[in-house]
Amino acid sequence: MRIIISPTKKMKIDDDVFSYDKLPFFIKEANILKEELLKKNLEELKLLWKCSDKLLYENYNNLNNMDLYNKLGSAVLSYQGLQFQYMAPSLFMETEFNYVRKHLRILSGMYGLLEPFDGITSYRLEMQSKLEIDGIKNLYDFWGNKITDKLKSETDLIINLASDEYSKVIKKDSDLKIVSIFFKEIKDNKLIEKGTLCKMARGEMVRFMAENNIIDIEGIKSFNRLNYEFNSEYSTNKELIFIKKVRD
């Protein structure tokens, strides 16, 4: 079983705390993408990154000083977005670190597929970015087979906690069984998702699974944090739906 999650744009690399295990599996591919980005001028990068001028210059400076081999931080501790705040990996016990080391994988536009303690540096490259690489039209085509084959070499069951932007990089016609988890609310008799709450719940789910050493789908169904509960009526064999309870 492998759990896949999305990365976050917000990052902080601390190479003084929690040394990383190894370089990412797709470090050569990350180098290719770095060189492709370095070919672009500021105007092209602004279109690619879809960011403000302030962030443009900040990310441009980071890109030109990017070192994929030195002063790296562990991936799971370098992403700072809401999902990772609720996962709170810096507070993990040794058993929880061991759990995520084995079961958790982070999808990345820059690195493809990361293990939690792979050494990474700051970057800005979303999977949906329209970056052409040597005739390959986008990152989905660049990464799709590589990521899918790597996951197939590790497992036959994927627990999908990633956003659609990232999870759709996995080839659906592969032999992998993919079970996606959704966190929803019922409003006006309709199921709705709220982005912020979903990010919080995804992080909390990873923490729950690590704390309880969850290794199968039945164990996942017992998740009951942040007022979410498993709902068998809306769930299928490919989708586990958790509904947020409304407080009286």
209-213 LR contacts (CB < 8 Å, sep 24+): 209/3, 209/99, 209/103, 210/92, 210/95, 210/96, 210/99, 210/100, 210/104, 211/96, 213/95, 213/99
In this predicted model, what pLDDT tens digit does every residue of 39-59 receive, in sequence order? Answer: 999 999 999 999 999 999 999
Rounded CA separation 49/41 (Å)? 12
Rounded CA separation 171/229 (Å)? 30
| Side-chain-side CA neighbours of residue 239 (13 Å) | 11
Rounded to two decimals, the pTM is 0.96
Proportion of the chain above pLDDT 70, given as a percent: 98
Q: Does position 196 have pLDDT exceeding 60, yes or no? A: yes
Please give the tally of structural domains in the chain. Answer: 1
213: containing domain: 2-122+130-244
Question: Residue 17's pLDDT is what?
Answer: 64
Rounded CA separation 147/158 (Å)? 12
Question: Residue 247's pLDDT is what?
Answer: 67
- Which runs of consecutive H residues, i.e. helices, occur in 4-69? 27-38, 42-49, 53-64
Mean confidence (pLDDT) of the chain: 95
In this predicted model, what pLDDT tens digit does every residue of 118-142 receive, in sequence order? Answer: 999 999 999 999 999 999 999 999 9
Q: How far is CA 88 from CA 16, 170, 198, in A?
A: 18, 26, 16
Q: Does position 248 have pLDDT exceeding 60, yes or no? A: no
- Which runs of consecutive H residues, i.e. helices, occur in 155-246? 164-167, 195-211, 217-220
Average pLDDT estimate for 84-104: 97
In this predicted model, what pLDDT tens digit does every residue of 109-122 receive, in sequence order? Answer: 999 999 999 999 99
Residues in contact with 155: Cβ distance below 8 Å, sequence separation at least 6, in sequence order: 1, 2, 176
